[in-house]
Structure 1
Amino acid sequence: MMITLSLSACMLRQASLCIPGPSRTVLRGIHQSGARCSGHNRWSKIRHRKGAADSAKSTQFSKITNEIYLSLRPPASPDPALNPRLSAILAKAREVGYPKSNVDTAMNKALNPNEGAALQSITYEAVGPGGQVGMIIECLTDNSNRCVSRVKEQLNKYGGRMSPTAFLFERKGVIKLSLDPGTDRETAFDTLFEVAVEAGAEDVKVVLPTEDVHDQVGGFEVITPPSEVSTIASSISSPFKVIGVEVAYLASTPLRLPANEEDGAADELETGEGLGDVISEEVADKVFSLVEGLEDTGDVVKVWTNVAEV
């Protein structure tokens, strides 16, 4: 993914975050979800403790290359001004020092698929160690045999296995937005809410500031139908900055970690409506070892799990 919140921030409830006004709850069924506490919980602590696979520059560059390919799938435009997903990826590339020559090569390959080995998107379904956690593994490869071999190798290594899991997820568009420093969050939400409703979004979520030096302002996430994510992203302007656009697999009933005293109020959210069964920290630890092993495999673009990020 990630986000670290103060305990007081995690104590916020949906009711305290909703913007007043009757139209807020009836227009197209859209609503504001509670603040997403996705970094100051035990699930994120496990990942941080074990280290993100993307920390290696070579792996990070490989992921950016794949994201460029995916952002240029027809009928997507090669013009960043008309393709918010590509624009966000190029901004990320500049931030991490991804060479411009690599950008040009990746874009040329994406726009001229008949030159060289053809890339194909492959999605695998699996369950993690312990059999509780569902996983969707998205890959982009020029060799399907090599790709499935690498995925199976990691699954076997960490105790996972191929198994149908798509029924555990919903495919949604996700637009990640940062907020200009000094902008009033409630006013900004009002503005974003109206734009999102008009454009056809399904949900708006608050993302509170983190301790990450690159994300100390926070922002929002807009959930959309998958086919409309780029159109809706293009309708959003200042004071918001689009920092990510993707089609995601979101858990229908997210699993959760058990509460403990260390996490305090953050765990109160983990017992909220819409969350599923509890998994142990031991299982979560093993699952993240598997996720990191998969994400460190060149052909793997993204691994989705049905563990709650709240």
Structure 2
Amino acid sequence: MAGHSKWANIKHRKGAQDKKRSKIFTKIIKEIAVAIKENNSNGDPDTNPALRNAIANARGVNMPKDNIDRAIKKATGTDADNYEQMSFEGYGPHGIAIFVECMTNNTNRTVANVRSIFNKNNGSLGTNGSLEFIFERKGVFTIEKSNLNWDMDDLQLELIEAGATDFEDEEDIFVIYSAFTEFGSMNNKLEELKIEVQNAELQRIPLSTSKLELEQAKDILKIIDAFEEDDDVQNVFHNLELTDDLLELLA
């Protein structure tokens, strides 16, 4: 996981300045819709932990309260969108593994778009399960350090008892990792400690990374950007090693 927080910090800063904020909001709205659907149209965040987490993520990207309320109202209504979660595994150029998570109301469109992005960028779509040996699913909690009023050693001890497995301290953010099975309990612990989470989600963390020359790495950034620009794509994970040259390019 070494260096993963550097990628998280870059995404955090880019997200704060991202002109395509509508894409970020669309992602959150889908999270809200799925959270409500999977809890039998329960639009009460007090009794729907998944919805509570989605609302926290919405606030973390400064989504207006009116937008959040409209998303909840629509998702609990009779005209709610019916989203399905899908995932795709494959390889980008130069053998870099790429895992794409989608949320869609049109599976045929999503499959066609994902396959097209792989093909147009010298990649190849694989079969589900083909990358299981490369990625490990973990809970990842991103906190702005300016919101922390804790002694860091004391905080880490508290969180380890709740299931935290690792921490990374990178510039203006603090990242907490938990096992996939401890995601809910870690969320509850952070709420109990009244720690404001900027983002909480399940991510696929590479168990090992592959290093490329800068020009080759740019090809990976291109295909990642192509996926992230697609409206059906929620998350893109990869095992590209973030070298100093690449970090400088992204900064």
1:157 aligns with 2:116: no
Amino acid at match of 2:177: I
* Residues 295 and 303, structure 1, Cα contact 8 Å, conserved in 2: yes
Amino acid at match of 2:168: V
Number of the residue aligned with 1:266 = none
Alignment match, 1:67: 31
CA distance in 1, matches of 2:145, 2:8: 20
Of Structure 1 and Structure 2, which has the larger fraction of its residues in helix?
A: 2
| Residue 281 (structure 1) aligned with residue 214 (structure 2) | yes
CA–CA distance in structure 2, aligned partners of residues 126 and 291 of structure 1: 12
Paired with 1:140 and 1:40, the residues of 2 have a C-alpha distance of: 21
Counterpart CA distance in 2 for 1:242 and 1:37 is 15
Per the alignment, in what secondary structure is the counterpart of residue 248 of structure 1? strand
Match of 2:142 in 1: 176
TM-score normalised to structure 2 length? 0.77
The residue number in structure 1 matching 2:56 is 88
- Pairwise CA distance, 1:225: 1.9
Q: Is the 8 A contact 2:143 2:173 kept in 1?
A: yes
Aligned to 2:72: 107
Q: Judge conservation of contact 2:143–2:198 (CA < 8 Å) in 1.
A: yes
User: 2:251 matched to 1:297?
Assistant: no
- Listed as ranges, the gaps of 5+ residues in structure 2 are 244-251
Shift of 1:220: 2.0
Write the distance in 2 (CA, Å) between the matches of 1:79 and 1:139: 25
Q: Which residue of 2 aligns with 1:197?
A: 160
Separation in 2, partners of 1:56, 1:165: 30
SS at 1:242 equivalent = coil
Unmatched tracts of structure 1, length 5 or more: 1-32, 210-217, 256-277
The structural deviation recorded for 1:148 is: 0.7
Greater RCO between the two (CA within 8 Å, min separation 6)?
A: 1
Q: For the structure 1 residues 182 and 152, does the alpha-carbon distance in structure 2 shift closer, same or farther, using more than 3 Å as the test?
A: closer
Aligned-pair CA distance for 1:284: 1.3
> In 2 relative to 1, CA 191–34 (structure 1 residues): closer, same or farther, beyond 3 Å?
farther
Q: Which amino acid aligns with 1:284?
A: A
1:215 matched residue in structure 2: none
Paired-residue identity, %: 25
Contact 1:177 1:242 (C-alpha < 8 Å) held by counterparts = yes
* Cα offset, 1:116, TM superposition: 4.8
Q: 1:73 to 1:207 in 2, by over 3 A?
A: farther
Contact 2:137 2:180 in 1 (8 A): yes
- How far apart, CA to CA, are the structure 2 residues paired with 1:59 and 1:281? 28
Going from structure 1 to structure 2, the CA distance change for 1:91 and 1:192 (only over 3 Å counts) comes to same
Report the secondary structure of 1:241's partner residue. Answer: coil
Counterparts of residues 180-259 of structure 1 (less than 5 Å):
180=146, 183=149, 188-203=151-166, 205-209=167-171, 218-236=172-190, 240-255=195-210
Task: Note closer, same or farther for the CA distance 1:247–1:188 as it changes in structure 2 (3 Å cut).
Answer: same
Q: What RMSD over aligned residues (CA atoms) do the two structures have, in Å?
A: 3.5
Question: How many residues are treated as equivalent by the alignment?
Answer: 234
Which is higher, the Rg of structure 1 or of structure 2? Answer: 1
- CA shift in 2, pair 1:141/1:104, >3 Å: same
For the Cα contact (< 8 Å) 1:125–1:166, is it kept in 2?
A: no
Measured in 1, the distance between the counterparts of 2:39 and 2:80 equals 21
Partner of 1:20: none
Q: CA deviation at 1:70?
A: 4.6
Deviations, residues 7-63 of structure 1 (Å, cap 9, x unaligned): xxxxxxxxxxxxxxxxxxxxxxxxxx878661699xx69xx7xx9995323323322
